[in-house]
Structure 1
Amino acid sequence: MNGTRRIAVLAAAVMAATGLMTATPAAAGHHGPRPIIHWIEIVQAHEPTWVKVWWTTGRRICDAEVTVRGEDVGIVYPENTGSYTSFRRDADLKPGRPDYTAFKVDADYDRNTLVPLEATLTYNTCGSQAVEKARIYWLRLPVLRNPDHDR
């Protein structure tokens, strides 16, 4: 089975097993910022890959910065931010306008695995009396063993 087909089969299996595309009732009542889906796209081990996390919110947030860390996973942020990532449009997230953050991952694994990533979102509530906030979200990064790396 070629690499692309393996990835597609694994993705289908993960989605079927977890009900990945369905929203939970608890998420529906949440007003603050949150990832739409806690799963990141599948990557091959030892292949630096840009990934996206889509976010939504029930209340506007401003000056958002996201940092990510995971065991044996190198993280690189966009050049214009350097030490963090933010939303594609700007550093604000508005209700009804989902946006994504992007970063590059390089998973140092020699097996198929699921790696938990800790994403810390810092932001404020906007306006002249903005309140600074920070939240941690757990994301899941599926990693496929890279047979080319074994050679």
Structure 2
Amino acid sequence: MSAPAPRRTLLGRAALVAVGAGVVVLGAQSMGPAATPTPRAVAPVSSAPGAPASPDGPVTPLAPESDLVDASVSTGLRPVTRTLGAVVAGQQSWVRIPWTTDTPVCAVTVTVAAAGADVGYPVNTGAYSSFYRQDRLAASVRDYTAVRFSVPAFSAATVVTADVTASYTTTAGAAGKASRACVGTNVTRTYRVTLPVQASAAGRDA
């Protein structure tokens, strides 16, 4: 009676599991540091990457000029720049909005209304975005909020205008920073920003 053939064990290879139209790689990890931080989670979207923004998405009108914070204001929680990263027409583009503050703030939520673009947020916050690390920011520290913009593939726009509204609580100086309780003055501010739009490959070839 012959002995059974030895079983072969494949070590060091990632197992591939087909899921729908994609493939999930299990066990494969990159040991090198990431080039840039990644938002905590990406919001699920109804359209596939490269598809135009859904026309059924909620449309929020831009704020009247009287509700906007003047560009010369340099106190409180505010964007570091009013010109954000570029978005590509026909693609879902995650854009970072960098923030700074001269007073500690907490319970920060950021929402965006954009002309000619659909807006989405990280899945773990849902209807708004907050900072990459947590929902508070100490004075003189910078962090960012991630927002997804979807511009239709055949849009002729070269710039997207968006209103960024930050709602937060200013804490009572060092005492507020030392304790984890978020107690202070509630503030809401709206800033107008712009994002350059790059034409999609389909739009350039049309």
The residue number in structure 1 matching 2:175 is: none
Which of the residues 24, 30, 48 maps onto 2:92?
48
* Residue 141 (structure 1) aligned with residue 195 (structure 2): yes
| Cα deviation digits, residues 103-150 of structure 1 (max 9, x gap) | 111012522411110010000113675111100011101112213256
Q: 2:120 aligns with which of 76, 91, 113?
A: 76
Greater helix content:
1
> 1:148 aligns to what SS in structure 2?
helix
Instruction: Tell me, in whole angstroms, the C-alpha distance in 1 between the residues paired with 2:79 and 2:197.
Output: 20
Name the structure 2 match of 1:88. Answer: 132
Query: Normalising to structure 2: TM-score of the pair?
Result: 0.56
Change (3 A) 1:30 1:147: same
Larger radius of gyration: 2
2:160 counterpart of 1:115: yes
Query: Structure 2 stretches of 5 or more lacking a match?
Result: 1-69, 172-180
Select which of 111, 121, 124 maps to 2:169.
124
* Residues 115 and 80 of structure 1, relative CA distance in 2, 3 Å threshold: same
Give the Cα–Cα distance (whole angstroms) in 2 for the partners of residues 79 and 128 of structure 1.
23
**5 Å matches for 1:62-73?**
62-73=106-117
Structure 1: gaps spanning 5 or more residues: 1-25
Tell me the TM-score normalised to structure 1 length: 0.75
Q: Return the offset for 1:28.
A: 8.8
* Amino-acid identity (%): 32
The one-letter amino acid of 1:133's match is V
Q: Return the alpha-carbon distance in structure 2 between the equivalents of residues 87 and 70 of structure 1.
A: 20
Checking the alignment, whether the CA contact within 8 Å between 1:31 and 1:58 is kept in structure 2 is yes
Counterpart CA distance in 1 for 2:198 and 2:75 is: 35
**How many positions carry a matched residue from both structures?**
126
Deviation at 1:51, TM superposition (A): 0.7
The 3-state SS of whatever aligns with 2:184 is coil
SS for the counterpart of 1:131 is strand
Call closer, same or farther: CA 1:90–1:129 in 2, change over 3 Å: closer
Runs of 4 or more above 4 Å deviation = 26-29
- Partner amino acid, structure 2, of 1:100: Y
Larger RCO (CA within 8 A; separation ≥ 6): 1
